[in-house]
């Protein structure tokens, strides 16, 4: 059983990353463009509006990066921080617990994104291609000593 979970885990993490990134992206798109649905309250924001437009821009950019797995840890860290700020600025003053202040989704995003910071992108991520290319170029660039045999 351990062998199956060790080979399937990176793909499970990738699925988790893509779903969380897609949902985060949808929130940003909704706030900025009204697509796929109008934002709560019906009013869209310009990306320059403070704080909603800035938050939506972070959601849009970070969500996209997380989906494709490029700079996943950094994007997830920034996105998680923006959700923590959103919770304490907007939701927490309305009640102590997320169930009281309608902050459930913000808390779930915050902790899900923070988890991605620590576990990484999983399989099928552009980060993995960058890492593989960097590793192969390091091996190709290593000098070969003349007159020595390789193992």
Two structure tokens written together for 119: 């576990």
DSSP class per residue in 3-15: HHHHHHHHHHHHH
- What number of other Cβ atoms are within 10 A of residue 135's Cβ? 10
What pLDDT score was predicted for residue 10?
Answer: 94
Q: How far apart are CA 52 and CA 42, in angstroms?
A: 13
User: According to the model, what pLDDT value does residue 36 have?
Assistant: 78
Structure tokens at 48: 């320059």
With CA atoms as reference, report the closest residue to 128 among 50, 73, 89, 79.
Answer: 73
DSSP letters along 88-118, please? IIIIGGG-SSHHHHT-HHHHHHHHHHHHHHH
Q: What's this model's pTM, rounded to 2 decimal places?
A: 0.81
Contact, 111 vs 151, CB < 8 A?
no
pLDDT, tens digit only, all 151 positions of the chain:
567 778 899 999 999 999 999 999 999 999 888 887 777 677 777 777 788 789 999 999 999 999 999 999 999 999 999 999 999 998 889 998 999 998 999 999 999 999 999 999 999 999 998 888 777 766 555 544 445 444 4
CB distance 127 to 70 below 8 Å: yes
pLDDT in the model for residue 133: 78
The pLDDT value recorded for residue 149 is 46
- CA 71 distance to own-chain centroid: 9
The phi, psi pair for 19, rounded to 5°, reads -65, -45
């Amino acid at each position: 059983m351990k062998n199956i979970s060790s080979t399937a885990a990176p793909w499970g993490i990738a699925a988790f990353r893509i779903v969380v990134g897609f949902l985060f992206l949808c929130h940003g798109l909704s706030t900025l463009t009204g697509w796929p649905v109008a934002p709560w309250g019906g009013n869209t924001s310009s990306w320059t509006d403070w704080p909603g437009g800035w938050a939506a821009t972070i959601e849009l950019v970070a969500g996209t990066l997380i989906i494709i797995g490029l700079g996943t840890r950094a994007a997830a860290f920034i996105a998680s921080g923006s959700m923590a700020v959103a919770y304490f600025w907007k939701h927490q003053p309305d009640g102590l617990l997320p169930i009281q202040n309608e902050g459930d989704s913000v808390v779930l995003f915050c902790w899900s994104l923070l988890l991605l910071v620590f576990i990484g992108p999983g399989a099928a991520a552009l980060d993995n291609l960058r890492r593989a290319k960097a590793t192969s170029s390091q091996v190709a660039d290593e000098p070969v000593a003349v007159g020595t045999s390789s193992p």
